Structure 1
Amino acid sequence: MKADWVAASVRSRAMAERRVGAGSSREMAAQPTLDHALALLQESSYAERLRGNPGLLAAERAIHESVLWQLRVLAGWLPASGTSLARAAAGIFEIENVMALARRLAGGAEAPEPYHLGALATAWPRLQSAGSSEELAAALHASAWGDVGVARPGDLKDALTVVWARRLAAVAPAARPWCGAACVLVAARILTVDGATTPAPVLRLLGPVIGRSWQDAKGLAEFSSALPPGLRNVVVGIESPTDLWRAEARARVVVERDAFQLLRRPMPGPDVVLGAIAVLFTDAWRIRAALTAAAAGAGSSEVLDEAA
């Protein structure tokens, strides 16, 4: 691998080493209050944005902003050939911006301050000027997000999530199994939780990854059997739609496990950087689950227990 990836790989490993980790996340989840849990993050990389003992929603936002900032810093260390990887990963934050705007245009609450993506934006500076749902759909269609249809916000998020997963897999082949799992989880929720016909744009986007044989399945067992063999394990053992969160937790663990293996690659390169990004994303997910449990005074987190 070219020498220009060395600095980025060293920086990536250093960022990953600063993660809070599974053990500390479970310790946070066991705290009696949110403030007690937040106190355990005072020496972490999230501390700066968590000052002032924010409420749960503000804390979750601060966690997201911390990860995005780390991603932007990491992007500054990447060679020119790595820009597409950082931008693809940051797409998950652009989706949040788009969805906040879409809900406002559909008559919902005023959109919060958008995430500041800087050079990692895919299309956001152009999208944010849309004045209607139709204008937003047209702007998305003309961008790298492509044709995601004009639909209710929930369908739009599903379409954007699939586009994001596919785009990440396209620039980072090591992420292809993660892309498949994400697509399976989107399809499983639409089919068994929402009980709805899969919107045409979402079905079209899912097709190249998981096929279409699953769309008429009756229940999760039939759904799983209709998937490509390599993806059936994503929902194996999940018998009820109300337990799909367990499949998501397991998928996150798989991503984290794969990410640690990428970080241990002996040669510098994009796989090491991808591993660090995945570790940071998973760490933030664990922390949010822990803070939710502490805020509820639950004493532990079922989500983190599933991910143990």
Structure 2
Amino acid sequence: MGAAWVAGSVRAHALLDRRLGTETTRRLACLPSVEAVVRELATSPYRREARGCRTPAQLETAIGATLLWHLRVLAGWQPGVGVRLLRALAGWFEIVNTVDHARRLAGEALPGDTGGPYRLGALATAWSRLAATRSLPDLRAVLAASVWGDPGAGDPATIAAAMAISGAARVAEQVPEAVDWAAGAAALQVARQRFLAGREPTTPVRHRAGELLGRGAVSAPDLAGFTAGLRPAARWALAGVAGPEQLAQAETDWWRRVERDAAGLLARSGFGRAVVVGCVVALAADARRARAAVQLAALGGGPLEAFDAAF
């Protein structure tokens, strides 16, 4: 165990104190407005980014930006392999940036001023090149030449789906502790696209998804066949799912499994990558709860039954 892993693990444990916690986020969910949440966050770890937010979209972005900043801080304490691990786990932020950029290029309306894009720093893979593109064909070409791969088409929805699968494949490859999480997330993504949205994957996406999930699953004509064809590392995420309408609950169950596994990683003695991975999940789960609280507060607060059911 190198000194850098020891230092990185110590920093990871310290960052766990930067969470709001379940009870605080439940209290935020009961507040009557976004303004009230911003005031409440003024003494929290989210205060720097949340200051001045006026809309739910701005505040949700601010919460995400705080999470990203913590990951960037954590990366500064890791050896090279730890930085690569964090870059893979932080891929969601580059996906959000790229899809928002694609939507602007397509002339689509975004939900108000979100305050983006996210500032990725050393956790970026291709964002600076992607951000410089000025048309959807150029964006697709830069994606194809990057670690994200060719999405197979240049529209924003296809880019979003393709990057999600590519990101999951990269996590599965570079973060051994997260193989089942990544495969399960990819299975849910493909299932939502095919059996809820009615969108078939492009050829490049089908190929990448097949490598991660199993060729038989990707080519199956219905949800039952898709689930049966999944590799064991991915099949757990659709356990008990009888129809597309149950996929939302399956995503909630995915988060519960991932949080439970991450708690187990953090409970291990010693130092190393498991602690870092567990810390990332714990911070991400806290941000997810905080963002959900913002959504409820924007509607006037509560009911907590709906909030609790999602977590």
TM-score by length of 2: 0.90
Equivalent residue number for residue 124 of structure 2 = 121
Paired residue type of 1:103? R
Equivalent residue number for residue 19 of structure 1 = 19
Matches within 5 A, 1:178-257: 178-215=181-218, 217=220, 220-257=223-260
Measured in 1, the distance between the counterparts of 2:302 and 2:107 equals 38
Give CA-to-partner distance per residue, 1:115-166, whole Å, 9 cap, x none.
1111221011112221221111111111121222223211111110111112
Cα offset for 1:302? 5.9
Cα offset for 1:182? 0.8
Equivalent residue number for residue 102 of structure 1 = 102
Paired residue type of 1:119? A
Determine which of 125, 131, 137 is the counterpart of 2:140.
137
Q: 1:119 to 1:130 in 2, by over 3 A?
A: same
Equivalent residue number for residue 36 of structure 1 = 36
Alignment check: 8 A CA contact 1:105 1:131 kept: yes
1:65 maps to 2:95? no
Cα offset for 1:222? 4.1
Alignment check: 8 A CA contact 2:4 2:77 kept: no
Measured in 2, the distance between the counterparts of 1:132 and 1:237 equals 43
Alignment check: 8 A CA contact 2:30 2:303 kept: yes
Alignment check: 8 A CA contact 1:33 1:295 kept: yes
Cα offset for 1:225? 2.6
Give 5+ residue unaligned stretches, structure 2: none
Q: CA RMSD in A?
A: 2.2
Cα offset for 1:103? 1.2
Alignment check: 8 A CA contact 2:94 2:124 kept: yes
Cα offset for 1:219? 5.1
Alignment check: 8 A CA contact 2:184 2:236 kept: no
Cα offset for 1:66? 0.6
1:77 counterpart SS class:
coil
Measured in 2, the distance between the counterparts of 1:238 and 1:23 equals 30
Paired residue type of 2:246? D
Give CA-to-partner distance per residue, 1:227-249, whole Å, 9 cap, x none.
22443331233344333221111
Measured in 2, the distance between the counterparts of 1:55 and 1:24 equals 20
Measured in 1, the distance between the counterparts of 2:208 and 2:239 equals 23
Cα offset for 1:301? 5.1
1:146 maps to 2:149? yes
2:41 counterpart SS class:
coil
Give CA-to-partner distance per residue, 1:256-292, whole Å, 9 cap, x none.
1111111122121111111111111111111111211
Give 5+ residue unaligned stretches, structure 1: none
Cα offset for 1:63? 0.5
Q: 1:248 to 1:235 in 2, by over 3 A?
A: same
Measured in 2, the distance between the counterparts of 1:38 and 1:221 equals 45
Matches within 5 A, 1:276-291: 276-291=279-294
Measured in 2, the distance between the counterparts of 1:198 and 1:177 equals 21
Alignment check: 8 A CA contact 2:144 2:151 kept: yes
Alignment check: 8 A CA contact 1:220 1:235 kept: no
Choose 4-13 or 105-114, whichever is displaced more: 105-114
Equivalent residue number for residue 298 of structure 2 = 295
Measured in 2, the distance between the counterparts of 1:219 and 1:28 equals 41
Measured in 2, the distance between the counterparts of 1:282 and 1:67 equals 10
Alignment coverage as a number of residue pairs = 308
Alignment check: 8 A CA contact 2:30 2:301 kept: yes
TM-score by length of 1: 0.91
Q: 1:58 to 1:78 in 2, by over 3 A?
A: same
Paired residue type of 1:17? D
Q: 1:10 to 1:41 in 2, by over 3 A?
A: same
Alignment check: 8 A CA contact 2:210 2:217 kept: no
1:78 maps to 2:81? no
Give CA-to-partner distance per residue, 1:44-78, whole Å, 9 cap, x none.
21112112352211100100111111111111111
Measured in 1, the distance between the counterparts of 2:172 and 2:306 equals 26
Q: 1:107 to 1:33 in 2, by over 3 A?
A: closer
